[in-house]
Structure 1
C-alpha cells in the first residue's frame, strides 16, 4: 500500500543531494527533508499526537508547508490546512470542528486564534523541535485509505464543510496531474497559488519523480515572471485570475516563460476569449483540469496540445474517476443534453468530517454529486454550463450565467465579468451583469449591450450592466457571487 510518506522517502533515498524544496530564504535537499521530517514526526509522537489526530497548519506560502505534508504522513496524522486570509472566527470554527490537537504556524497569524490551543510557532521553536529530535524517527502503520487531510470548502452557504481526503485520493490526483502536465524527471515545480488549496495537489507530484519545488510567497505581475525564469520553473498551478493578471500586465514578456512546459489552470472557469488571449500571448503551455476539493483537480483533464481546439471544454474524464451527466432523478442524459455532473472513483473524497447529512446528500451510491451543470459531446469532452444553484430562472426559462459572461468577455476592453440573477416581480429573476475593464480600451454599457444583441437571444440579455473597478473574490481568486448579490441588493434598496 502506497502513502505520501513512502513516496517521499523513496524520492529522498534516490536523490539525497538534490534540492527538494526552496523558498525565498532557504533551501533543503532531499536528504535533509528526510531527516527533518523524521525528527518532526518523532517530536509530534512525543507530544502525544497519535495516528488519526488532527494538526492544523496556518501560514503563508513557505517551505514548511511542503515539509509538514511529509512529517504528518509519517505518523498517520491528519493535516488541516487553514487559509490565513480567513476571519479569526472562521479559523476558530474550522479548528474546533476538526478537533485539532496542535496548530503549527506563523506567530502573527497564530495570535488571531483562541488562546487555549496548543501551538508550535515556525521559526526558532519549530527549528528547536527538529534539532532536539534529529536522528530519531517515528513511523506509524498507515494505509492508503487512511485520512491524509481535512480540507474545508469555501463555505458559500452556511459553515464550510471539512472534506476528508485519503492518501489514495492524493496519489490518484498526483498521478492524474503528472499525466496531463507531462511531468518528467527534470521538471521544477513552482507554487504561487496558496499551498492550502490547489497548488498543494500539484506538490505531491514531486514525490513521484523526485522533483525540486520552488515556493513563492506572493504574486506580483511585474516581477513574478523574472523569478520564474531565474528558478527555471517548468510546471506551475495557477487559478485563472492569476493567469489573467499575468497576461494582461503591461510588462508581460513571453520570453520569460521559456522554461515553462505547462501551467495547470483550475479552480474556476476561464472565459474562452480570455483563454485565447493567453494562448496567443504565451503559447501552447496551458493545461486545464476540472475538479473540486471533494474530487481534487482531475475529474476531467485537457492537455495542452488539444486546448487551443477546444476552448469551451474542460477536457475528458481523468484516469481515476467515472463520470456521468444526470437529470434530477439521477437518470443519465444523452450526449449534448445538460445535467448535473456526478463522478465516483479513487479520486473522490471519503465524505465530510463530522457531517453525516451533508455526506449523504452529496455521496449517493458512491457517486459524488458535484452541483455543477454540464454536457458531454460525442467525443467525450465535458462542457461546464454553470453551478446548479447559480442558474437564473426568468419567466420559467433557464439562463446560464456563464453563457452571458462568455459573450461579455469577447470585448477587448473587458478584464473579467460576473453575471447574477436578481429578484424580478414580473419574471421571477432578471439578468444583471458586472464588468471590470482592463484599461486597454474604453468599455461602455452601449458596447456591451450591442455585443449581447449580436450573440444572445433577447431573453438572455442583461437587464442591467454595471461597470466596476473590481469584483469580490475569495482568497483563492474565485468570484463570490453571494457577496455580489448582497452588494447589488444594497445598491438597489
Structure 2
C-alpha cells in the first residue's frame, strides 16, 4: 500500500483534464484540484506546522472537505473532521482534546465555539490563501502507518473518543469499498451524507480510480433524485434512514435511479422488511457494509448479488480484516452461536487519541472488541443481533431488541421502530417499543401487539407500545436509545 497523498497525485497525473469534483456552482479538473491541494499544503508549511499537527475542519457538505483531505495527506498532517450538526460545546470538547493547530470552516459555525485556536474561514479568506500560494507545493515524507485522521465517535455514552486512523486504515477501507461497490473507472460518486463521516471514504475510492465526485449540500428526497438523474451518479453512500425516506417518499420514481450502480448502506442496521421494500421499489442496487469508526466501513461486506437472498445478514468478512465471534471469556464460539464480534487487521484503528484506558479496553492483543453481538452461519455470513449494552435481560433471559423491531417493522404502516429495556420490579427489565407510523396505512397498538403475538415468544413481547411522530437520532442518523429511555421515564411519571 501507499499513502492517500500518493493516490491523489497519481489520479491527477493520469486524468489531468477530467472533472475531479463539482458542486452546484463550481467544477475543478484534476489538474486544478490537485493544484489547490498543493497550495494548501504549502500554506500549512508556511505557517510552521509540522508533521502530525492537527487541522480541524468544521463545515457543512462542501467540496473543500475533499481538497483538504489531499492537502493534509501531502503535508503529513492529521485532519480532525467535526460534524457541523453537533452543539458548539461538543465541538469545543473535540477541539480542546485534539489540540488543533488551526480550524478551517464556515464562520457561523466557528464563531459559535469558545476557543483560542487560529482559524481560516471558508469562502473569501480561504480563496485568498489559495491565490497567494498558487503554483506552490509542499510534500512531507509520509509512511503508510502514519496518522491521517482523528475521527470522533458519536459519543452515545460519555464524551466522544478520538479514533486514530492511519493511511493504511483508510486505504484498506477504500479498497474494500471499491470491491463491494463494484467500482470501475467510469463511475461518478455522489456525496449527500456527511463528508465528516461515511461518505468521505468514497473520496478515497475516487482517488484510486480517478473518478468524478459531486457534492450535494442537503438531502431532500424528491430534489435529490432529480440531481442523481441529471448528474448520472452511479455510486453513493446513504445511511438506512436516508434510504427509507427516499423509498417511502410519495413521489418516489425509480427511473431516476437508472444510472445508479450501487448504494452502500451503512451506519446503522436496516430492518429486513424495509430492505425488501427498497429492493422491490428501486431494484438490485444496494450493497451493505458493517463497520465502526474504529474499523471503517468494511468489517463485513454484502454485495448486490447476495443481499436480496440474505436480508438479515450484513455479509461476509471483509478482505482486510480477520473476525472472530467470542464469548465473555474471549473464547471463539461455534457457528450459529451468538457472541461479541471482534476484529483485527489493516482496517483496525491505531487506538484512541489521548485515551490509553479506552484503547486498552477496546484493543486487546490487537483485536478490536466492537461491542456488537452477532453470529456466523455455515456459509460464512455474519448476522448482527444487537449492541451488547442494549440487550434486555428479563427474568434472567436475554432479549435482543432488534429481533422485536424486525417483527414490528413487518406492519405496512410502520416507518421505523425502537425497542428498549426499562426497569421492572418483577422481571428486572421489560420490553418497551416506540413506533413511528408512515402514514400510508393505519396502524394501531392492538395490531402491533397481534403481530408480536403471532411472531414472538411470549416473554419477548413488548409490555408497552407507544406510537410517536419521530425517534431522536444522532447527527449520523443513529437512533438515540438513551433518549428513548428518558422519554419513557417522563411518560411513566
Q: TM-score, structure 1 length as denominator?
A: 0.99
Q: 1:112 deviation in Å?
A: 0.9
Q: How large is the Cα RMSD of the aligned pairs? A: 0.6
Q: What are the Cα deviations for residues 198-226 of structure 1, in whole angstroms up to 9, with x where unaligned? A: 10111110000000000011100121100
Q: Distance in 1 between matches of 2:84 and 2:35?
A: 28
The residue that corresponds to 1:432 in the other structure is 432
The residue that corresponds to 1:281 in the other structure is 281
Query: Quick check: 2:34–2:67 contact (8 Å CA) kept in 1?
Result: no
Q: What are the Cα deviations for residues 52-73 of structure 1, in whole angstroms up to 9, with x where unaligned? A: 0000000000110011000111
Alignment of 1:112-191 (within 5 A): 112-191=112-191
Gaps of 5+ in 2: none
Q: What are the Cα deviations for residues 250-309 of structure 1, in whole angstroms up to 9, with x where unaligned? A: 010000000000000000000000000000000000000000000000000000010000
Q: Distance in 1 between matches of 2:475 and 2:391?
A: 24
Q: 1:155 deviation in Å?
A: 0.6
The residue that corresponds to 1:51 in the other structure is 51
The residue that corresponds to 2:210 in the other structure is 210
Q: 1:442 deviation in Å?
A: 0.3
Q: Distance in 1 between matches of 2:217 and 2:235?
A: 17
Q: Distance in 1 between matches of 2:475 and 2:34?
A: 32
Q: What are the Cα deviations for residues 33-62 of structure 1, in whole angstroms up to 9, with x where unaligned? A: 111111100001111111100000000001
Q: What are the Cα deviations for residues 214-241 of structure 1, in whole angstroms up to 9, with x where unaligned? A: 0011100121100011010000000000
Q: Distance in 2 between matches of 1:178 and 1:116?
A: 40
Matched, 1:251 2:251: yes
Matched, 1:488 2:488: yes
Q: Distance in 2 between matches of 1:36 and 1:195?
A: 19
Number of matched residues? 493
Q: Distance in 1 between matches of 2:127 and 2:315?
A: 44
Q: 1:116 deviation in Å?
A: 1.9
SS in 2 for 1:337: coil
The residue that corresponds to 1:201 in the other structure is 201
Q: 1:115 deviation in Å?
A: 4.5
The residue that corresponds to 1:387 in the other structure is 387
SS in 1 for 2:94: helix
The residue that corresponds to 1:93 in the other structure is 93
Q: What are the Cα deviations for residues 396-448 of structure 1, in whole angstroms up to 9, with x where unaligned? A: 00000000000000000000000000010110000000000000000000000
Q: Distance in 2 between matches of 1:225 and 1:419?
A: 31
Q: Distance in 1 between matches of 2:484 and 2:24?
A: 36
Q: 1:136 deviation in Å?
A: 1.1
SS in 1 for 2:483: helix
Q: 1:459 deviation in Å?
A: 0.1
Q: Distance in 2 between matches of 1:117 and 1:36?
A: 23
The residue that corresponds to 1:368 in the other structure is 368
Q: Distance in 2 between matches of 1:102 and 1:109?
A: 14
Matched, 1:442 2:429: no
The residue that corresponds to 1:422 in the other structure is 422
Query: Quick check: 2:56–2:103 contact (8 Å CA) kept in 1?
Result: yes
Alignment of 1:261-272 (within 5 A): 261-272=261-272
Q: 1:491 deviation in Å?
A: 1.5
Q: 1:460 deviation in Å?
A: 0.0
SS in 1 for 2:336: coil
SS in 2 for 1:204: helix
Moved over 3 A (4+): none
